[in-house]
Chains A and B, each alone.
Chain A
Amino acid sequence: MNNRNGSLALLAGESRRFARFLLSELKPKGKLLTPFNVIAACILCVAAVLLTIRFSQGLSSTTNLSQDFPWGIWIGFDVITGVAFAGGAYVVTFMVYVLRLEQYRPIVRITVLNGFLAYLFYAGALLFDLGRPWNVINPIIGNSFGVSSVMFLVAWHFLLYMITEFIEFSPAVAEWLGWKRVRKALASLTLGAVILGITLSTLHQSGLGALFLMAKTKIHPLWYSEFIPILFFVSSIFAGLSMVILEGSVSQRVFRSQITPHHRASHRGIVLGLARVCAGTMYVYFFLRVLVFIHGQQWTYIATPMGYWYLVEMVVFVLIPVRLYTQAVRFENIPLIRVASVLTLIGIVLNRLNVSVIAFKWYAPEHYIPSWMEIEITMAIIVAELIVLRWVVNRMPILRSLPERPVDGAAHAIESLKEQPQWTTST
């Protein structure tokens, strides 16, 4: 009897302490009134107002969409480009868990976290664009499976992939909460989740391209080909990695306090390695696009405005960055790699927008141009993602420890984490 009361009291005490820990973690760390926070708050407030208007008055109140242009930047940029940018997660997990290239282990968690949040926010932004979002459950609960639809496939893959990414990431959450046993169970799922995640990514990265296959007569021939799915897949590899490179150099600064000396030392080698992969896949991509160009006998289009635009995309944002990557890798020039990554990312934005918006109905007399409100809400989504990212990185062991087998320096950090749940020590 006594015993039971005792353990009950212990349980109550523990859960109270746990709740207190969660509450304290919810509070922001650091100064509140930073320029970033102020601007972010403004953007989010405006977006909240705009979204209220959008949901009470319909899409035309905030967007410039029309009968001729059913998809704008909420799809073309937020979803289609955002998902390509999030491709880093499947590539890096492939390198670390399948190829076992151990040197990339320090960036696994931050990349997976980034990928997960990108899907959550950018693919989640789809809900703003859906006219009848309450019916989004229809294809999920299975009362109407449109299995012949590419969109059906992409939607399901998004969902499953988010689950796999969460599983890959979950050990970090368990460490943060100090749940040792849970952590072990979760970590044992990692390889399975990784393999499934890579498979799903292959399919939905290409699937986003396959969405446009039926718009054959509506997309300019320089961008339409039956190979769009393959091109989308290949480009998602270097798009994702370029994003990882860029994010890496930013978080080296922003999250300075979180980064172990060991990690900082390895950063250089990681960036060089990633740049090498980028260069390789970009050559393949460039080659494929040239093949598609020749195969489609598209010479005649080159001397038109759309042709020049095509050349800009191909030369300035594919050929030049791939040369930069190659040069930078040869001379181990990290700043140059950053320049290359930025150019590459712009190129991906251009490519995805070209297929989905710009070269879509290029012949229309009045072409769609996004409204400022569409852009504002897009910015709000990015800001919201960054805030959540910052919150997580500042609390969970994302940058400050290595997932799985810890090596030297970081090992101590993990050891101390293991000994006592964080929430009992931090009070």
Chain B
Amino acid sequence: MNRRTFARTLGVAGASLLPLHHRRAVGEEHRKEFVGVLVDTTRCVGCRSCEFACAETHGFPEPNQDERVLDRERTPSVTQWSIVNRYSTAGGDVFAKKQCMHCNQPACASACLTKAMLKTEEGPVIWREGKCMGCRFCMVSCPFDIPKFEYDSPIPKIQKCTLCWDRLERGKIPACAEACPAEAITFGKRADLIKEAYRRISSQPDQYHQHVYGEHEAGGTGYLYLSAVPFEQLGFPQGIESTAYPELSKDYLYAVPIVLTLWPAFLLALSNATKKENEPTDHEMHHE
């Protein structure tokens, strides 16, 4: 093998991975301000209007009306992007709506190799049917276990809340926020929502637990929560720190271009070093 063929083979591989040099965690740099939703669980009355509105807007079957569905903790499902749970806490029964958190730097989108999961510039994390190959790596990676997969379908989709992306594009607000009779769900610019959350906490400090869930969790999320009780009691997953999830595999991804450039050079040098004095060159080696 000569230097040219080697360079060529290397080039092919290198070219495919070059974008890594410019790679930046999804959403780290955005031109527009993200939108988000503030859920104030102290206001939620558990009427599940948001659940019904969600199903209706997105064409899913109407959720079970029976109140007893609240008896056990539910998760979003392939036919319910958003659900309401009842938690019995130190401060009595509390209702909390659960759905995709629309992370600032979503694990799901950075996991997705086809960019089917996409953090839009506006903030909502959406899923695009034409791109997804159904590997379910987004499900493995999402710290909130949000994306759901249609295991029963030969043409399965990933189902999860899109923050009503299609409605936003038409200038409307998310269906759940519109439907809530108790004003527990506020849609707006994320930065404004954080301010509003702190305003509520400071104006009624004894009503609120002093924390805005989602301001820093998992690197910050589009959905923000207020509560009267600590958030562990509202079924939020344990162990979620403030580092954004894509950071966890960043070191590895940064090492890739380095290995890709240094390793071949090192191996080639090593191979030359072990070449014996009288050994034929590579060209003569092959049966000549």
Contacts and interface: CB of A to CB of B under 8 A. Distances in A.
A binds B: yes
Interface in B235-268: 237-240, 245-246, 248-249, 251-253, 256, 259-260, 263-264, 267-268
A211 B137 contact: yes
Contact of B110 (A63, A149, A212): A149
A144 B131 contact: yes
Most buried by A among B113, B132, B143, B271: B113
Contacts of A58: 150-154, 156
Contacts of B107: 214
B275 A195 contact: no
Given A59-B156, A196-B9, A146 B132 contact: no
Nearest to B286: A187
Contacts of B43: none
A63 B134 CA distance: 15
B77 interface: yes
Nearest to B144: A217
Interface in A137-172: 138-139, 144-153, 155-156, 160, 164, 171
Interface in B262-288: 263-264, 267-268, 270-271, 274-276, 282-283, 285-287
B252 A148 contact: no
B150 A148 contact: no
Nearest to B113: A152
B133 interface: yes
A44 interface: no
Given A196-B264, A404-B286, A405-B285, A131 B136 contact: yes
A183 B286 CA distance: 9
A256 to B, nearest CB: 27
Given A135-B131, A146-B113, A191 B1 contact: yes
A171 B156 CA distance: 43
Contact of B115 (A59, A146, A216): A146
A215 B245 CA distance: 9
B155 interface: yes
A410 to B, nearest CB: 12
Contacts of B20: 147
A367 to B, nearest CB: 15
B286 A184 contact: yes
Contact of B145 (A68, A151, A193, A196): A68
Contacts of A229: 252
Contacts of A351: none
Given A132-B134, A138-B114, A212 B140 contact: yes
Contacts of A405: 285
A195 B268 contact: yes
A171 B270 CA distance: 24
Nearest to A171: B286
Interface stretch (A93-101, A109-117, A305-313, A327-335): A93-101
B68 interface: no
Contacts of B111: 149-151, 214
Majority secondary structure of chain A interface residues (helix, strand, loop or mixed)? helix
Interface stretch (B10-18, B85-93, B181-189): B10-18
A144 B116 contact: yes
A200 interface: yes
B140 A98 contact: no
Interface in A194-250: 195-196, 198-200, 202-203, 206-207, 210-218, 226, 229
Interface in A117-142: 129-133, 135-136, 138-139
Interface residues of B, number: 75
Contacts of B145: 67-68
Nearest to B251: A226
B198 interface: no
B227 interface: no
Contacts of A207: 252
A418 interface: yes
A404 B285 contact: yes
B274 A217 contact: no
Nearest to A180: B287
B16 to A, nearest CB: 6
A414 interface: yes
Nearest to B239: A217
B112 interface: yes
B248 A214 contact: yes
A65 B114 contact: no
B171 to A, nearest CB: 28
A71 B141 CA distance: 11
A188 interface: yes
A155 B114 CA distance: 11
A55 interface: yes
A149 B156 contact: no
Contacts of B274: 98-100
Nearest to A57: B154
A100 B114 contact: no
B135 A130 contact: yes
B23 interface: yes
B9 A193 contact: yes
B80 to A, nearest CB: 12
Contact of B264 (A129, A153, A189, A199): A199
Nearest to A210: B252
Give the residue among B114, B116, B248, B259 with the most A Cβ atoms within 10 A.
B114
A97 to B, nearest CB: 7
B137 A149 contact: yes
Given A58-B151, A193-B9, A198-B267, A71 B256 contact: no
11 contacts: A68-B145, A130-B135, A131-B135, A132-B156, A153-B253, A188-B286, A199-B264, A203-B259, A215-B140, A217-B239, A404-B285
Given A191-B282, A198-B263, 15 more contacts: A58-B150, A58-B152, A66-B151, A100-B276, A132-B156, A135-B114, A149-B110, A151-B135, A156-B17, A184-B286, A193-B9, A200-B13, A202-B263, A213-B249, A214-B107
Interface of A: 55-60, 63, 65-68, 70-71, 94, 97-100, 129-133, 135-136, 138-139, 144-153, 155-156, 160, 164, 171, 183-184, 187-193, 195-196, 198-200, 202-203, 206-207, 210-218, 226, 229, 404-406, 414, 418
